[in-house]
Structure formats: C-alpha cells, structure tokens
Chains A and B, each alone.
Chain A
C-alpha cells in the first residue's frame, strides 16, 4: 500500500461497514474461505459434498457450448427447425433436452448481413447455461460488462472481429430472465456439410456474438 492509500484507509473509510459484514468473519484467502464455508455447511447438514461433486461434474462435462452448437447447426440445416427456433426457442431447445437452470426462457436471435447480435449482462452475468454452460471469465469481467453496450465494435476488435459498416450491431443486455442465443451466419462453402461437421464451426463465442462462425 502506498502512502496515499494508507492515509485514505486510516481515515473515515476505515469505518466502511464492509468490515462489519458477516463475510468478513471468514478467512480472507479465497480458497480457505470457500473451504471454511463448505466445512461449516457440511457439518450443519446443509450441503452434501457428493452433491457438490455432481454439480461440478455436470457443468464441466455434461452441459456446455456443444449443446448450443447443435442447435445452431440444426437451424442452418433445417429451415422448419430454424423457423420454429426463432418463434419459440424455449420449446424447441427443450425438445432437444436443453432446458433448466438459467435457461427457462430462451430467445434465439439470428445474425444477417444487416444486423450482428451480441449478448451481455451489464448488471451481473446472466447467460444461457443449458445451451452454453458456465459463462467464460471474460463474459463476467468488468471490461466486457462495461464496454459491450457502449463500444461493441471495439470489444469485437479485442476478439479479432471487424464488421462491415453496412452491418448494424444490436447488443442484448440480459436484464431479465430471458436468455439469448446468437445464431451466427452460416459460412460460405458449407453446402452439403452434415450437422456434426457444421457443429465444429460453431464456437461458444460465436453464440454470444463476439466471434463469427468458423470456415471449413
């Protein structure tokens, strides 16, 4: 801590009420803090460590962006599916078995030559978990939350994406329980490719709107 900060901290801000918050009773090291909470809640019978393992296993191995990629690849391949997805994404993806926590109300938004869609949650980290899994670190970062709404094109540049000036950017700020999935544009040269092959071109970031679909 430099001298300036030391002065500030010894002044009125040292009475900041955060020091009275219950969380301040836990160890300050984050890993120890989590361990202390887990131990306490386990000893009180409120959590079962085996259930925690199962939750982690679910989001590490079972629920992730390949779910969303399947939806996109099918929308590219099947016009009726695409139409139904754009009309009622929740019902359509639930039919594929993709429904649940943080994905109770789904909306699919389609990129075109005229409009590029991009999704953010400026207030926290809302994200379509059943289709994309746990949000990446950058999606939860202050930089993305702060900048995506004001300067989406500069944010896209951080991902190496430049859009033509004829394309408008529409940023969706997930402020309610609606969860948005971006359907990227189908790349040229993919005619005749099957769903599995198309899936490989659909990255997580393309379904958030910070990347374009890959090329074969």
Chain B
C-alpha cells in the first residue's frame, strides 16, 4: 500500500448515499474552499501532482477525520507555507500579513472563464517509445510505491500491485506524476489503460466477467512472463 488515500478495495465503509443532481455544494464554506484552492493554484507555485501529493501526505489521522474540503484546506495551508508563499506566523495570525511579490499573478474575476477553459493538458512528446500494444499481457509493479522517491507520490493503486492484466488502449505519452510531484521534471512516458479481470484482483469477485481498468504509466508495468 502507498498511503491512506489509497483505499480502492478496502472493506468496511458502508453504504454509498446517492444525492440529487442539483446539490453542487453542501455548505457555503465548501464553495469558498474550492475557489480558494483553484485561485491559489493559479499562482503557479506548484503543479497538479504536487497538490495531490500534499493531500495524500496529510497524517492518516487527519486524512480520515477531515471531510473532503477540509483535506483541501489543510493541504493548501501546508503547501502555502512549504512554498514560502505565506509564513507560519502569518498563518497563525501572530503577525500582520506582508504583501506578496506574487500579487501581480492573482487571478482577476474577468480572467476566470478563460483560465478554467484553458485547462492544463498532461500529454507531452516523449523520447520513450511505447513497448506495449493493445492485447499485450502485462504485470503491474509490486509493491505499489514510487520507485524513485521513498514514500513519494504514485498513481499506482495498491489493489493492482502485482496483478496480471492486458493493455486495452494506449493514451500516448503523459507527464509522470511520480516525478512531477517531486520537482524532478515531468519525465513523460507512455500511458496505457490496463484491464484486469476482477478475479485477478479480489479473492471473491462479484461476477466472473467483471473487470477493472486502471490507467498506468509504462514504468508501472512489465511484460507478463
């Protein structure tokens, strides 16, 4: 297992509770939390993978007890201090805030539509050639850990570690989160959709024909023996 966020396949969580489609937010502060997070990201001091990793790095006790947007706020506060965008004393209110040299980058209301519409594609040219084709049998890396940085970010879920699957489709080359979350470059490499029979992942699959598809980077995979 990687960290507390890696919960696919875990037992004991109880029912999923459906909710109406028009219920976008459940509290006013949820809206502000979402917007503050997006606007802070637009300052350009971290990338999406760093931001995901900052949530996963919350102490397991905090990750578990915090609601969704509480996790976002806690991870954002940590990131803001780690990147020196704010100081711990400013965060605690012990000192008055000092105007930031990044203030010129603050998102203005009339930039919002364009900024959200622009997005941030993750596909890149790569010098690493794809070595697998659709239909190829592959085995996912085990253990499901970042093989570059101890305890580092990875998008390889624990439940798929060591499992035998086959390539379903090739997505082209994409930024490798295991590198990009740690300031060591985008390191793009081929990305695949890999399909696993449920029986390969679980001792008691619900149905013999069910499957799980996981997007996996080439370095997560080796050819099946």
Contacts and interface: CB of A to CB of B under 8 A. Distances in A.
Contacts of B58: 18, 21, 23
B35 A176 contact: no
Contacts of A193: none
A30 interface: yes
A201 to B, nearest CB: 13
A74 B178 CA distance: 38
Interface string A27-61: 00011011111101101111110111111101110
Interface in B157-210: 157, 159, 171, 174-175, 177, 191, 193, 195, 201-202, 206-207, 209-210
B33 A34 contact: yes
A48 B8 contact: no
B16 interface: yes
Interface in B137-155: 155
5 contacts: A21-B78, A44-B90, A46-B39, A55-B116, A165-B207
A105 B15 contact: no
A173 B215 contact: yes
Contact of A149 (B16, B33, B69, B212): B212
B36 A52 contact: yes
Interface string A81-100: 00000000000000000011
Given A25-B88, A48-B107, A140-B68, A18 B34 contact: no
Interface residues of B, number: 107
B116 to A, nearest CB: 5
A46 B40 CA distance: 7
Contacts of B75: 23
B123 A101 contact: no
A44 B107 CA distance: 13
A22 B80 contact: yes
B27 interface: yes
B91 A40 contact: yes
B129 interface: no
Given A51-B35, A51-B111, A170-B213, 8 more contacts: A22-B78, A22-B81, A46-B39, A51-B106, A55-B112, A145-B7, A148-B8, A152-B206
Contacts of B62: 18, 21, 23
A33 B73 contact: yes
B7 A146 contact: yes
Q: Report the interface size class on chain A.
A: 35 or more
B86 A40 contact: yes
Nearest to A59: B24
A101 B119 CA distance: 4
A17 B86 contact: no
B39 A171 contact: no
Interface string B9-23: 111011111110101
Contacts of B77: 22-23, 25-26, 37
B13 A147 contact: yes
Interface in A100-126: 100-105, 120, 122-125
B9 A150 contact: yes
Given A33-B70, A51-B108, A146 B21 contact: no
Contacts of A103: 119
B92 A25 contact: yes
Interface in B74-113: 74-78, 80-82, 85-86, 88, 90-93, 96-100, 102-103, 106-113
Contacts of A205: 18, 21
Contact of B91 (A25, A122, A124): A25
B13 A105 contact: no
Contacts of A196: none
Contacts of B98: 44
B89 to A, nearest CB: 9
